[in-house]
Amino acid sequence: MVFLALVISVIVGNILVSAAGRNFFSSGNLLDVFSATSVLGIIALGQTLVLISGGVDLSMGVVASMSTLIAAGVMDNKQGNIGAGVGFALLFGVLFGLFNGILIGLFKINAFIATLGTSLLLSGYLATNFHGSYGQVPAAFHKIGSTNIGPMPLSTLIMWSGAVLFYVTLKQTRYGFHIFAVGGDTSVARLSGIRSIPVLIGVYVICSLSAAVAGLILASRTGVGSPTIGTDSKYTLLAIAAAILGGTTLSGGVGSIIGTISAVTFLGVISNVMSVIELNSFLQDVVRGSLIILAAALYAKKSSLRITPRFSRAKV
Amino acid sequence: MTLLEVKSLSKSFFGICVLQNVSFTVKVGEVVGLIGENGAGKSTLLKILSGAHQPDRGEIVLNGAQVHFASPLESEQAGISTVYQEFNLLADRTVAENIFLGREPQRFGFVQKNKMNALAQEFLESIGILTISPTSLVRELSTAQQQLVEISKAVLRSPKIIQMDEPTSSLAQHEVELLFKIIKRLKENGVSIIYVSHRLKEIFQICDRIIILKDGNFVSEHESNEVLEEEVVRKMVGRSLTEYFPRRPIVQEFGKTVLRLEAAGNENVDGISFSIRRGEIIGIAGLQGAGRSELLDGLFGVSPFSRGQIYFNDLPVKIRSPRQAIQNRVARIPEDRKVEGLQLFESIMDNCLAVVRSMNPRETRKIKANQRSLLDAVEISTQNLNQEVRFLSGGNQQKVVIAKWLNAQPEIILFDEPTRGVDVGAKVAIYRQIRKLADSGSAVIMVSSELPELIGMVDRILVMKDGQLVRELPGSSTEFEILSAALSVQLKEGNCERN
């Protein structure tokens, strides 16, 4: 169903954009669309995995911010430090994810509360120690943020690679199957011999890692580290919305990478169209919110009709 | 040859003793029936053998070696598979994915999906299940099919012992036959079965030996062909049940017609026409999927009728929601009380008052004062009305649901599988209650898969097949007659065809 929304949005968007005198499919415009999707897309991928496992990760935004700070700080405008910068940012993602995973998988703390707590911890730390932008990304790394292959930014390619990786993991690997099992019904999984602790820890590590990668892309685009960039654009909540629009449920056990990416692209197209027609940014949020509610309402209606009725009309 | 020996098993929960010194043996290739009232300790015993609980005292000896199961995985690895009453299936995954859960065929971490589906198909066919496709989502299967998948899951593990807890509760007659065929084949292959069920007829049919538990203690064991049902019931309950089914009044006078349906239909049933009078009990029989529950859903406004007409006391009414049904004095005791009948985390008192509070809040205080005597009348054995309902046995839970509806003083009461998951003692109490309701002038419609129950309780039987009413039979019909009608097979034995 998200496909339908995506296709409609592209058609309608094209009309609106043309009315404003621009071409939706021009490479410049497509670039904008794709750029808008890559960061949200990477975050949504990680979030999808966590949602399927029956949890949620509210800390992704702050982790992305921290990742920009570590990358920019370590690189310190020195090209030689790029490797270290990337490495430490990713390492932070892994460790933070481990922290979340242990709280949720081992100590069985509710995922919402646990990740809310860790995100507050981290954001408190960031607010105290960082004011405004920090560090500097060397030119070579900065270029990555603006490299494009045709109309497709490198960052979007990274998102797509991630999407393929996650898709294969969920559909084809035992680990992916077990994520669905743990999210679908923890006791069924347990009774079948699946150990939920490693599954959950793994999922939160992957998720925070995704947030860290998103942070690297943000750092590459802006050139600096920022303590608020991950949270300013409400990535975490939009990622959850995108996943749900794409067919992933909040209760776990059901999810679709294709759906998430379609939803993210849909949101990207909407954002692009709204900025081309120069819609007030407050109104943009209103539109976004309304579309999310509308789509969710349509979903609710659709799922209640799923069981085919035996008699749809009176028999003669 | 002894396969399993249970020695002096004891277990307490929070100071309450649920199993005390229970010992028995199971031989290779034997089907042992485990029976007892709810609270007798059967589930706990199964859970200890399956590794979900650990005993406080006692030993388990499997194949001569003492074993200790710290988790369900260990019990499975030792060769004990368990099929629980609540399905342990993932609703949003396919049949094959469920059957192979935790043991998916794989290479380097990648699941071999085609192989998995083919193996599942092969396996299902080999045990005689032909109507379930391995790629269907479990959510799309009927309850009976889900139960069969659950059983396949256990059989696939090639265990030495399979424990089954109420395996036939969702199965219709021909599916029960299928299960028994599967069990017989397993027996021939040297697999032992521990079979827990409240359906004594089945126990006598399929089990070689019967073990009786009562209040956590081992009472006795019998060869199934050497003991009579009455004696077994007496040992279970500790007293003899003079009447299993309450006797009907000698002279039965039914009142006026209270409900009449004409050609009613919704998404799942069509062309339903019948009427019921005050004081009558009507049974609805049919195979799984025949539309029995869906007929009740129509009457209760859950799946409202979009065609045809309903008449209450000769006045046409439209029932579009449960609230409207209740306003028309209809009550429904649902098939799945834990999902549709009770707020599990609320107290007995709050559950009893649920309908009153939403329909007639001003009466609440008055009715609240009556609760204790109402609950005594319904024969609930708990004293503490503030206890959360989830801690009650199945039988007591069902009685709470009935009490809740009695508070609304209904004229028409719908029962969907009234004694499912309920032990013998509580069953009798519920039958008594149904009899009382009919005697006091209410009309009762009862859906049941237990044919003896229908025959024992009802005045007339409506048989359904494929969403339609195919036959009306007297309450004194035989099981054979009812089943034939449900299968729409012509009666043999020289009976004339009834139209």
CATH of the domain at B383: 3.40.50.300
Considering the domain architecture, whether residues B226 and B264 belong to the same structural domain is answered as: no
Residue of B87, B90, B141, B145 for testing the chain A interface, max A β-carbons within 10 Å: B90
Residue A312 has pLDDT above 80, yes or no: no
Interchain CB distance below 8 Å, B111 and A185: no
pLDDT band at residue B491 using 50, 70 and 90 as cut-offs: very low
Residue A24 near residue A14, CB atoms below 8 Å: yes
pLDDT band at residue B497 using 50, 70 and 90 as cut-offs: very low
Determine the pLDDT at residue B494: 39
Interchain CB distance below 8 Å, B109 and A175: yes
How far is the CA of A56 from the CAs of A60, A196, B3, B4, B379, in angstroms? Answer: 10, 16, 47, 45, 46
Ordered alpha helix ranges (H), chain A: 2-19, 27-52, 60-75, 82-101, 111-129, 139-146, 154-172, 174-184, 186-191, 196-222, 229-232, 235-245, 257-276, 281-304
Residue B467 has its nearest CB partner, among A185, A189, A310, at A310
**Sequence-ordered list of residues with C-beta below 8 angstroms from that of B302, at least 6 positions apart, any chain:** B322
Parent domain of B10: 2-237
Residue B234 has pLDDT above 90, yes or no: no
Interchain CB distance below 8 Å, B90 and A181: yes
Considering the domain architecture, whether residues B365 and B437 belong to the same structural domain is answered as: yes
Determine the pLDDT at residue B499: 37
> What DSSP state is assigned to residue A224?
S
Determine the pLDDT at residue B45: 92
**Sequence-ordered list of residues with C-beta below 8 angstroms from that of B77, at least 6 positions apart, any chain:** none
Which of B239, B129, B266, B132 shows the shortest CA–CA distance to B185?
B129
Which whole number is the average pLDDT over B82-92? 85
Determine the pLDDT at residue A99: 97
Considering the domain architecture, whether residues B266 and B322 belong to the same structural domain is answered as: yes
Considering the domain architecture, whether residues B356 and B209 belong to the same structural domain is answered as: no
- Residues of chain A neighbouring B91 (CB-CB closer than 8 A): 184-185, 253
Which whole number is the average pLDDT over B224-253? 75
Measured CA to CA, the distance from residue B66 to residue B339 in angstroms comes to 40
B310 forms beta bridges with B261, B317
Determine the pLDDT at residue B498: 38
**Sequence-ordered list of residues with C-beta below 8 angstroms from that of A245, at least 6 positions apart, any chain:** A2, A5, A259, A263, A266, A292, A295, A296, A299
Determine the pLDDT at residue B492: 46
Residue B268 has its nearest CB partner, among A177, A178, A311, at A311
Q: What are the strands, taking DSSP E only, across B159-228?
A: 161-165, 192-196, 209-214, 217-223
Determine the pLDDT at residue A316: 35
Q: Mind listing the pLDDT tens digit for each residue in B402-451?
A: 999 999 889 999 999 998 878 778 888 899 999 999 998 899 999 998 88
Which whole number is the average pLDDT over B225-253? 74
Lowest mean pLDDT among B10-19, B41-50, B203-212, B264-273: B10-19
A149 forms beta bridges with A152
* pLDDT over 70 percentage in chain B: 96
φ, ψ dihedrals at B489, nearest 5°: -110, 145
**Sequence-ordered list of residues with C-beta below 8 angstroms from that of B91, at least 6 positions apart, any chain:** A184, A185, A253, B137, B138, B139
A24 within some domain: no
Interchain CB distance below 8 Å, B76 and A193: yes
Q: Which residue has the tokens 């794709």?
A: A34
Structurally, chain A folds into a number of domains equal to 1
Determine the pLDDT at residue B469: 92
Parent domain of A143: 31-290
Residue A164 has pLDDT above 80, yes or no: yes
Which whole number is the average pLDDT over B265-273? 90
How far out from the chain centre does Cα B337 lie? Answer: 10
Look at B333 and B242; give whichever has higher pLDDT.
B333
Residue A308 has pLDDT above 70, yes or no: no
B249 within some domain: no
Determine the pLDDT at residue B1: 84
Determine the pLDDT at residue A124: 95
Which whole number is the average pLDDT over B189-215? 89
Considering the domain architecture, whether residues B184 and B281 belong to the same structural domain is answered as: no
One-letter amino acid of A89: A
B137 forms beta bridges with B94
- Residues of chain B neighbouring A312 (CB-CB closer than 8 A): 267
Q: In the predicted model, what is the mean pLDDT of chain B?
A: 87
Which of B288, B317, B324 shows the shortest CA–CA distance to B448?
B288
Could you count the other beta carbons within 10 Å of the beta carbon of residue B132? 19
How far is the CA of B142 from the CAs of A186, B132, B136, B466, in angstroms? Answer: 23, 10, 11, 14
- Residues of chain B neighbouring A188 (CB-CB closer than 8 A): 88-90, 101
How far is the CA of B116 from the CAs of A114, A210, B299, in angstroms? Answer: 37, 31, 43
Interchain CB distance below 8 Å, A193 and B73: yes
* pLDDT over 90 percentage in chain B: 42
Hey, what are B205's tokens?
């049919």
Q: In the predicted model, what is the mean pLDDT of chain A?
A: 87
Which whole number is the average pLDDT over A92-114? 96
Lowest mean pLDDT among A37-46, A256-265, B375-384: B375-384
A245 within some domain: yes
pTM: 0.73
Considering the domain architecture, whether residues B125 and B220 belong to the same structural domain is answered as: yes
Look at B16 and B109; give whichever has higher pLDDT.
B109
Considering the domain architecture, whether residues B352 and B312 belong to the same structural domain is answered as: yes
Beta strands B209-214 and B31-35, pairing class: parallel
Name the burial class of residue B149, with classes exposed (0-12), middle (13-18) and buried (19+) by CB atoms within 10 angstroms of its CB.
buried
Interchain CB distance below 8 Å, A172 and B307: no
pLDDT band at residue A303 using 50, 70 and 90 as cut-offs: low
Residue B366 has pLDDT above 90, yes or no: no
Residue of B nearest to A195 (CA): B102
Q: What are the strands, taking DSSP E only, across B302-420?
A: 307-312, 315-317, 330-333, 412-416
A311 within some domain: no
Domain final residue, candidates B206, B237, B268: B237
- Residues of chain A neighbouring B150 (CB-CB closer than 8 A): none
Considering the domain architecture, whether residues B228 and B264 belong to the same structural domain is answered as: no
pLDDT band at residue A80 using 50, 70 and 90 as cut-offs: confident
Beta strands B65-67 and B57-62, pairing class: antiparallel
A248 within some domain: yes
Determine the pLDDT at residue B39: 67
Interchain CB distance below 8 Å, A254 and B267: no
Which of B17, B338, B75 shows the shortest CA–CA distance to B194?
B75
pLDDT band at residue A305 using 50, 70 and 90 as cut-offs: low
Interchain CB distance below 8 Å, B88 and A253: no
Strand order in the sheet with B468-474: B330-333, B412-416, B443-447, B281-286, B460-465, B468-474
Determine the pLDDT at residue B280: 93
Which stretch, A145-154, B19-28, B475-484, has highest mean pLDDT?
A: B19-28
A-B CB pairs within 8 A amount to: 84
Considering the domain architecture, whether residues B208 and B267 belong to the same structural domain is answered as: no
Measured CA to CA, the distance from residue A237 to residue B489 in angstroms comes to 59
Residue B127 has pLDDT above 60, yes or no: yes
Residue A200 near residue A128, CB atoms below 8 Å: no
Determine the pLDDT at residue B143: 78
Structurally, chain B folds into a number of domains equal to 2
Could you count the other beta carbons within 10 Å of the beta carbon of residue B313? 14
Look at A74 and B497; give whichever has higher pLDDT.
A74
Cα distance from B100 to chain A (closest Cα, Å)?
A: 9
Measured CA to CA, the distance from residue B396 to residue B423 in angstroms comes to 10
Determine the pLDDT at residue B489: 58
Residue B79 has pLDDT above 80, yes or no: yes
pLDDT band at residue A311 using 50, 70 and 90 as cut-offs: low
Which whole number is the average pLDDT over A166-175? 95
Cα distance from A252 to chain B (closest Cα, Å)?
A: 10
How far is the CA of B313 from the CAs of A52, B276, B455, in angstroms? Answer: 52, 10, 27
Element (H, E) at B272: strand B272-277
Considering the domain architecture, whether residues B358 and B420 belong to the same structural domain is answered as: yes
Considering the domain architecture, whether residues B206 and B269 belong to the same structural domain is answered as: no
Determine the pLDDT at residue A107: 95
Residue A174 has its nearest CB partner, among B52, B106, B268, at B106
What CATH number does residue A58 fall under?
Answer: 1.10.3470
Residue A22 has pLDDT above 80, yes or no: no
Measured CA to CA, the distance from residue B419 to residue B448 in angstroms comes to 9
How far out from the chain centre does Cα A169 lie? Answer: 17
Look at B240 and B473; give whichever has higher pLDDT.
B473
Considering the domain architecture, whether residues B233 and B274 belong to the same structural domain is answered as: no
One-letter amino acid of B456: G
How far is the CA of B338 from the CAs of B113, B289, B374, B392, B427, in angstroms? Answer: 35, 21, 21, 11, 17
Interchain CB distance below 8 Å, B89 and A188: yes
Measured CA to CA, the distance from residue B81 to residue A136 in angstroms comes to 61
Residue B284 has pLDDT above 50, yes or no: yes
Measured CA to CA, the distance from residue B68 to residue B62 in angstroms comes to 10
Cα distance from B193 to chain A (closest Cα, Å)?
A: 19
Determine the pLDDT at residue B147: 85
pLDDT band at residue A44 using 50, 70 and 90 as cut-offs: very high
* pLDDT over 90 percentage in chain A: 49
pLDDT band at residue A315 using 50, 70 and 90 as cut-offs: very low
Cα distance from A293 to chain B (closest Cα, Å)?
A: 24
Could you count the other beta carbons within 10 Å of the beta carbon of residue A76? 14
